[in-house]
Amino acid sequence: MGKELQFLDYVVFFIYFLVVAGYGYWIYQRKKSAQASANDFFLAEGALTWWAIGASLIASNISAEQFIGMSGSGFAMGLAIASYEWMAAATLLVVAVFFLPIYLKNKIYTMPQFLSQRYSPLVATVMAVFWLLVYVFVNLTSIIYLGALAVSTISGLSFTTCSIGLSIFAVFITLGGMKVIGYTDVIQVLVLILGGLATTYLALDLVATQFGESGAWAGLSLLQEKAGTHFHMILEKGQMMMPNGTGGMEDAYEKLPGLAVIFGAMWIANLNYWGFNQYITQRALGADLPTARAGLLFAAFLKLLMPIIVVLPGIAAYVLYQNGQFQTELMENGAVRPDKAYPVLLNLLPLGLKGLSFAALTAAIVASLAGKANSISTIFTLDLYRKYFNPQADEATQVRVGRIVIIVAIIIGAIVAPVLANFGQAFQFIQDFTGLISPGVVAIFLLGFFWKRATANAALAGAIATIPTGLILEKVFVGMPFLHRMGFVFLTLVALMVIISLLDKKGQQNNKGIEVDSSMFRTSPAFTVGMVLILGILSALYLMFW
């Protein structure tokens, strides 16, 4: 099978493109008002249903970072990387029960707004700048890089052409605002699940064929037989050595250290991403509580499915590589590049199905780019521009500025993206860099939610200290797994904030509390049943693949 997309593949892809673009335009025309509304554009206030919220959460979350980065980590370390997906399902439940009621009761629309309302405008501004830098130079950039790398590998087009094409497609969707993003994400998530499952099925069938059998079930059994070490969820030190993408080997334990994925700092990474991240929470902040909770519950169910789509193909590629396949395709400058596993695997798909899988991958990339760009635009416009540059800006001006920011952010991301070629596994690059601010964000928000004595000065100290503390601990404890380091940074920052708050008597007098009471955390019977079902499935999965 050639590496180029064939005519039928392009037909399948362009059908997807036309459906998404046409549906997005229809939503835009159907729901636009005579005068642009800022809340409409940035939040789609009251317009998204529970299924649109859930689908949009997953479509925006699942991108090249997962399809390429996590599949590459599946090639390198196996099913253990699925903890990022399965523990995210549990985290979504925590967010739905405990965090969403606080946001909605206090009419919080952006994360900096919460910080301003709970602590001070200065804390909000510092964190808004942090978020913008990470969103643009880490998240947005990595999505463009990994997406262009994958599309280039599959289509044969140049990296530059692919990055420009993906960026333009994403801008087209994003300029319609959160309503267009939310509803087109329903199609995007349907395409990425169907295409992703088709890829997984054919990858497993290909493994079976290589060993004289047939069928996906036979392929799955062969994966467990030929790569048994790739089916452990809880890793021990020295248990698995994996390629680092630059020609050497490293201990997988350094990336996923044992029980930390269940009881340790994996929670910090997940709470930061799913609970205190504008990119994610924005989808639910414009809805009422029952709708928002139902959306997060739906997203949690979809999360259980994701490792089948993004991790199993990576393990299949590993088994095929060990059996003599992809010996040259996975090599670059004399080193095995795990991040090439998924794109190389797609090149083996039959005519037409390759186009469907290509569409699924593109859907994931474009949905994530659109969601991330909209969040960058929301934070900049509502928390910086409206506050410091033009407090009198009307609704139309805010929307216009938001659209300009979207274009500028994506251009910056496309320019910086090629730099990521200097790193090994892109998924770990993202985790390492976002891990520098995650402990501070989680400490500031949790104390802000549940400890009334936490002061603005303490929050400011936590915000400023989070990156230096992480860098210092990295130098002091050389070789410490980054999840453990995140945990120590979090505990250090909590201790720092508690001490400063207790000493800051004047700050306690000026505390801006938020409304929190236990009745906010009650859930409906239907939600409770769904929550118990998800936790039961998670328990079974970890017991099965411990």
Q: What percent of the chain has pLDDT over 90?
A: 19
Q: What percent of the chain has pLDDT over 70?
A: 88
**pLDDT score, position 157:** 80
- Tell me, what amino acid is at 181? I
Contacts of 505 (CB under 8 A, 6+ apart): none
**pLDDT score, position 91:** 95
- Per-residue pLDDT of 131-174, as tens digits, reads 898 888 888 888 888 788 777 877 778 888 888 888 888 887 67
> Is 346's pLDDT higher than 90?
no
Say which residue, 404 or 287, is predicted with more confidence.
Answer: 404
**Count of CB atoms situated within 10 Å of the CB of 283:** 30
**pLDDT score, position 431:** 65
Say which residue, 419 or 43, is predicted with more confidence.
Answer: 419
**Count of CB atoms situated within 10 Å of the CB of 259:** 10
Beta-sheet strands, E only, within 174-312: 241-243, 249-251
> Is 239's pLDDT higher than 60?
yes
> Is 73's pLDDT higher than 70?
yes
Nearest 5°: CA angle at 416, between 465 and 340? 100
> Is 42's pLDDT higher than 70?
no
Position 30 confidence tier, pLDDT thresholds 50, 70, 90? low
Domain 7-14+51-434+516-544 bears CATH identifier 3.40.50.720 = no
> With contact defined as beta carbons under 8 Å apart, do 72 and 425 qualify?
yes
Contacts of 273 (CB under 8 A, 6+ apart): 88, 91, 280, 434, 438
- What's the rounded Cα separation, in Å, for the pair 342 and 362? 13
Say which residue, 328 or 233, is predicted with more confidence.
Answer: 233
Beta-sheet strands, E only, within 210-297: 241-243, 249-251
- Per-residue pLDDT of 173-193, as tens digits, reads 676 666 666 666 677 777 778
Most confident listed range (60-64, 203-207, 355-359): 203-207
> Is 458's pLDDT higher than 70?
yes
**pLDDT score, position 34:** 39
Burial degree of 400 (CB within 10 A; 0-12, 13-18, 19+): middle
HEC profile of 78-130: HHHHHHHHHHHHHHHHHHHHHHHHHHHHCCCCCHHHHHHHHCCHHHHHHHHHH
251 phi/psi in degrees, rounded to 5: -80, 120
Region 16-42 average pLDDT: 64
- What's the rounded Cα separation, in Å, for the pair 303 and 311? 12
> With contact defined as beta carbons under 8 Å apart, do 393 and 217 qualify?
no
> Is 110's pLDDT higher than 50?
yes
38-42, 69-73, 443-447: least confident range: 38-42
- Per-residue pLDDT of 479-533, as tens digits, reads 788 888 889 999 999 999 999 999 988 877 777 777 778 788 899 999 999 999 9
Arithmetic mean of pLDDT over the chain: 82
Say which residue, 112 or 325, is predicted with more confidence.
Answer: 112
